[in-house]
Structure 1
């Protein structure tokens, strides 16, 4: 096995250990973590804002940690929901890691919190390999992105507990083939639930919240992200050897 593959596996193994410890800690506190993954521009911030607002209306103690390379624009947008929101800036790193999540939760997350949504960096490659201590992983995709995306990003879609199709009001104009999309999703993740959503109409908002609340109440069990294969390579952001950045692909779970 090449050295870069060994480094990749070591980095991910360390992250998995930190994520498992974080999940155990938060579970004891009664906190359920929901990890949101998508490409940039999928509409996940808009949808998350509506989900947070609905949770606040229903009296569910909820918070959100939103990640970007720069700016606090998304945190300001999400704060309009009335939920507790914090911005996490990655300084160029294109994914979140468990250590970052833990560091930002310390002293910030209220003791009575029940749901924590983590909006990952817009990217379907690197974030898919990093467990953040979540119990529910949601992968979102807009109809404008093309129905073959699950086949192009099998690790992301293959590790999802729930797949959400966004901007469905544009499906006809975009020529989106929903039947093909569903077939592709189930090819890499057999049986996973697919939810249609539209931020303009509010379609799917309640469903996403209900799935998160169901996890809070005990189902489904956590399923960790897929392990990367040996063809992953390492990218050092800013030349910093202290932050290896594996880009890895993996086969879908059977």
Structure 2
């Protein structure tokens, strides 16, 4: 079997596991939000604000955060008061559905409405792996350059929602938001783009509202944008 065939088989197996996980969680009333970005986008700080807002509003949420090493992000997110677990990937540059299922088993609180999954900081590998999410959010800071959607079309093209982070720095960074929006819509026509700032609180409520709307079936329903292997989901894995 050639290398490309092996890769397609791995992705196909992950898709099956993700579909089963999505179905199992949906039956429990849980929606998964998968957060993708490059390192330094500010997604941990923004997620912490979203979790804190949910706790304030009495919305039962939880979070998994993935990294190659350290539990620093889990410690930061736990300050929100929401249940948080760290996933250490031991060098793997992305999360896979099997890792999410393994970490959730025996841990996820029964009343959870939304599970936020903070993926490894990377816009390449994570984009190919469905984690059983209903909402895929791709984030980009104003300091990263307006052409990033064109450089990473798989990530931005598979997003249900795109979030601009650190907008309080847009002016000193010389960020051209109009050009960025044009580039996003070149790879993902019509996708919603939300402005945010963890420092000022801009977009925090909006991100939480979009997650809850996805849970209620109001928008952003799967499937995700198709990938080259064209594999179809199957069902049948045991429930969590």
Tell which deviates more after alignment, 102-111 or 213-222.
213-222
Does the CA contact (< 8 Å) of 2:62 and 2:112 recur in 1? yes
| Distance apart, 1:176 and its partner CA | 0.7
How many angstroms apart in 2 are the aligned matches of 1:20 and 1:150?
Answer: 27
2:137 maps to: 138
Q: Which residue of 2 aligns with 1:109?
A: 108
What is the deviation of 1:112? 1.0
CA RMSD of aligned residues (A): 1.2
Give the TM-score, by structure 2 length. Answer: 0.93
Q: Deviations over 1:40-64 (max 9, x none)?
A: 0000000000000000111111000
Aligned to 1:28: 27
Aligned length: 229
Taking structure 1 as the reference length, the TM-score comes to 0.88
In structure 2, the gaps of 5 or more residues are 231-240
Q: Is residue 155–residue 226 contact of structure 1 (8 Å, CA) maintained in 2?
A: no
Q: Secondary structure at the match of 2:143?
A: helix
Show CA shifts across 1:218-244 (max 9, x none): 1221122531479xxxxxxxxxxxxxx
Could you list the structure 1 runs, at least 4 aligned residues long, displaced by more than 2 angstroms after superposition: 223-226
Structure 1 unmatched runs, 5+: 231-254
DSSP-derived class of the 1:144 partner: coil
Please give the residue correspondences for 1:204-223 in structure 2 after superposition, counting only pairs within 5 Å.
Answer: 204-220=203-219, 221-223=221-223
**TM alignment of 1:217-232, pairs within 5 A:** 217-220=216-219, 221-228=221-228
CA distance in 2, matches of 1:198, 1:229: 37
Q: Which residues of 2 match residues 61-76 of structure 1 at below 5 A?
A: 61-76=60-75
Deviation at 1:128, TM superposition (A): 0.2
